[in-house]
Amino acid sequence: MKRAKLKRALIIITLLSSISAGVWIVMSNLNQNIMFFYTPTDIQTSTIRKQNIRVGGIVKPHSIKKFYKNKKHIIAFTITDSTNDIIIHYQGILPSLFREGQGIVAIGRMVENNIFISEKLLAKHDENYTPKKPVDSKSKISLCNPKSFKR
Amino acid sequence: MNNLGNILLYITAISCVLSVTFNFISSKPHRIKNHTFLQFGFLSIALLKLINVHINTDYRFANVVENSHEFIPILYKITGVWANHEGSMLLLVWTFSLISFIFSYQSKFNKNLTDQILILQSFLILCLLVIILTTSNPFALSNELIVTGRGFNPLLQDIGLTIHPPILYLGYAGLSIPATISISVLLQRKITIDNNLISKFYIWIALPWALLSCGISLGSWWAYRELGWGGFWFWDPVENVSLIVWIASTISLHLLKLSQNSNSLYRSLFISNVSAFILSFFGMLLVRSGMLVSVHSFAFDPEKGQVMLAILSFIVISSMVIFYTRWNNINSGKPLKLSNITTSSLLANIALLFCACVVIILGIMYPIFQDFLYNKSVSVDEKFYIKTLSIFFLPIIYIAGVYSANQKKYILSLILLSALVVTIINYVSDISSYLNAAYIHASIFLILSLLKNCTNLSKISMTVGHLGFAVLIIGGSLHYTYQFNEIISAQKNRTVQIKNYNITLKNIEYKKIDNYLSRKALVEIANEKKILGTLSPEIRFYPIEKTFTIESAILHTIKGDIYLTLGELDKEKILIELQFKPFIYLLWTGSALMVISIMLYFLFRNGHTKIQSKA
């Protein structure tokens, strides 16, 4: 009787400890690997530097420029959340659907002079993209609210 | 005839209501089969009507205005039907009715139980119809006077999207059958649960599992080819949702095996069947309601979410009530004996798969919690999934190997042998990451231990399925170990060397095709000895949608894929990105083997039962 009780207690203790260890590992992994999403306004008002983050906004019309820096082909453009702007530098091939007026998410970090160096660009592939058509309430959400690009 | 679609949907809904209420009025549900047939027929006509509307580009319908245009090729007009939220809901409800229809003719259960199951299926179809008719009606008329449509997302104009959603939806819909079988068995008062009954579950669990595997890998294949980023899995919420449903379905499949082997765990099997279906519904709620925003194209509208949430909670609560009140109806079977390797390894893997499922759900839900509690927008990085899931998936592969090796004397020698293979691979080309080395080791161990069973025809389905899984894991690990990419700015007739490859830009071509303009580069790829081939990566500009897409060009070699994408044109120079995707074909081979394994089961089923009866 006593032995059975002891055995049961042992099983419960090992189960509980392994579950809590598992939860601890998972949660600490989770906390290390989350990436915050900001709008250009968020970035202007805070001092996040060097940390990898995501920024989302609309590509401003007539802001896309190309230039060479250290023999690297760099594309610069401005994204906006209609109150604040941020300049993004990106080196590489632009993703499908990238264009002026398109909502995009840039992954990378802030450097000096309010320039955001992006390692990866994501263009949202929404089926209701209507760039230059009369904007109804539905597409307003998908186009003009950068919060809707968070992932 | 504008209202034909709506009328058909309402008639189907009425037929569903009738078949559900009949069950309450009279104890003998009559002619339920006819109702199933009617629902299938009406929904098929409704779907055809929507396809017809899209083919004719009938701008009286809002769905066509928002998602189509008259200049789009006919194939993509048809697939455009399920490339948007409303149309895909109609496709989903149609797949449900198709699965019930097939079930009504193929069911091996007795008549009472079959009728009960079909009633529950009608109820599920009714639920989906309520969602469609209240919030996402594909037949809604347009109230704007628009002369042209808004076009169809060019990324979705691809053969991958033609076949991937229907197959995936058939998988999701197929999951409803094991769930409704379980609930029906609970509802029946006089029924004995034994191995005979349980064994009839197999086809209805295996079929959606195969369809899900096929659908998910097709989606991954589409993303790899079409998106131009060269990846195959993005850990996006929509992908993760399909993954948890697949894992839940895998758990059901293995629990079934375990209950058959040991005549026990019937209760867990039932719970797992129902939860797999509920998870698929929950996934639909997550990705279609706007709670989670992903790169995949689905509408986000809180109103849709409310209706779906109401229906989901009704399904969850009612099934919990049924489980609670009828818990003692299920005999729990014999107590489980953990002494032999087969049972204990199966049980361990089921537990580990369950943990993996929980981890992914946590990863999906975490941004929602953060948003809700702290009003912060975060996203979970793929590193989280890879790191955390490795804790569970590495042991899963080893335990699967132990299961098939079965005897202790084999296990140790096979582990040593696979370690030798990993060392050789590492010697040929440095693996560098311990995690990848561990994955390769584990999967080689699994493959070697499967070889032991390869002559046993009765186990052929299991062997091929696990072989597929191992090949998939090896493909993924080798790909992550040896991949590289580089961007060059190429000039005409100049050769650039990247690793062992010489890349020469031969020409740039401009063309106007169907509904897009194309800029194509002809690129010759050679190694030191010979020319490997000419690739033509392309950029397409779609004037209707006012956007461009990158079309990758892929050269398949034994070592892997050479994946080219085209970038900006700048005076004489053009950007070309070369990505080397080593052994990526192993991923598709592995997935194909998993699907084939279920086909093999159906092929060798007769032989299987004969062998069993002989023994």
Q: Tell me: the pLDDT tens digits for B344-357?
A: 999 999 999 999 99
The amino acid occupying position B438 is A
The amino acid occupying position B23 is N
DSSP 8-state assignment for residue B201: T
| Residue to substitute from B226, B286, B384, interface A, most A β-carbons within 10 A | B384
Residues with Cβ within 8 Å of residue B24, at least 6 apart in sequence: none
The secondary structure of chain A, three-state, reads CHHHHHHHHHHHHHHHHHHHHHHHHHHHHHHHCEEEEECHHHHHHCCCCCCCEEEEEEECCCCCEEEEECCEEEEEEEEECCCCEEEEEECCCCCCCCCCCCEEEEEEEEECCCEEEEEEEEECCCCCCCCCCCCCHHHHHHHHCHHHHCC
Q: Note the pLDDT tens digit of each residue in B104-117.
A: 998 989 888 998 89
Q: Note the pLDDT tens digit of each residue in B244-264.
A: 999 999 999 999 999 988 888
* CATH number for the domain running over A36-123: 2.40.50.140
Do B489 and A150 make contact, defined as CB atoms within 8 angstroms?
Answer: no
> What does the pLDDT read at residue B294?
61
Q: Is the per-residue pLDDT at A139 higher than 60?
A: no
ipTM over 0.90: no
Question: Higher confidence at residue B526 or residue B328?
Answer: B526
Question: d(Cα B194, Cα B49) in Å, to the nearest integer?
Answer: 45
CA distance B546 to chain A (A): 8
A83, burial (CB in 10 Å: exposed 0-12, middle 13-18, buried 19+)? exposed
A–B interface: beta-carbon pairs under 8 A: 145
Domain extent listing, chain A: 1-34, 36-123
Question: For residue B460, what is the enclosing H or E element?
Answer: helix B460-482
CA distance B390 to chain A (A): 11
> What does the pLDDT read at residue A133?
31
Q: Note the pLDDT tens digit of each residue in A64-103.
A: 888 887 777 888 999 888 888 889 999 888 888 788 887 8
Neighbours of B491 (CB within 10 A): 14
Please tell me the total number of residues recorded for chain A in this structure. 151
Ranked by mean pLDDT, the top range of A131-140, B11-20, B231-240 is B11-20
At residue B610, what are phi and psi to the nearest 5 degrees?
Answer: -60, -45
pLDDT tier for residue B191 given thresholds of 50, 70 and 90: confident
Tokens of B200: 């009839």
Do B378 and A37 make contact, defined as CB atoms within 8 angstroms?
Answer: yes
Q: Please check whether residue B546 touches A, CB under 8 A.
A: yes
Say how many CA atoms lie within 13 Å of A57 toward its Cβ: 23
SS3 B294: coil
> What does the pLDDT read at residue B112?
86
CA distance A36 to chain B (A): 4
Average pLDDT over residues A32-59: 81
Residue that has been written with the tokens 């042992």 in this structure: A10
Average pLDDT of chain B is: 88
SS3 B314: helix
pLDDT tier for residue B67 given thresholds of 50, 70 and 90: confident
In percent, how much of chain A has pLDDT > 90? 10
pLDDT tier for residue B27 given thresholds of 50, 70 and 90: low
Predicted TM-score (pTM) of this structure: 0.90
Write out residues 183-242 of B within 8 Å (CB-CB) of A: 227-229, 236-237
The amino acid occupying position A34 is I
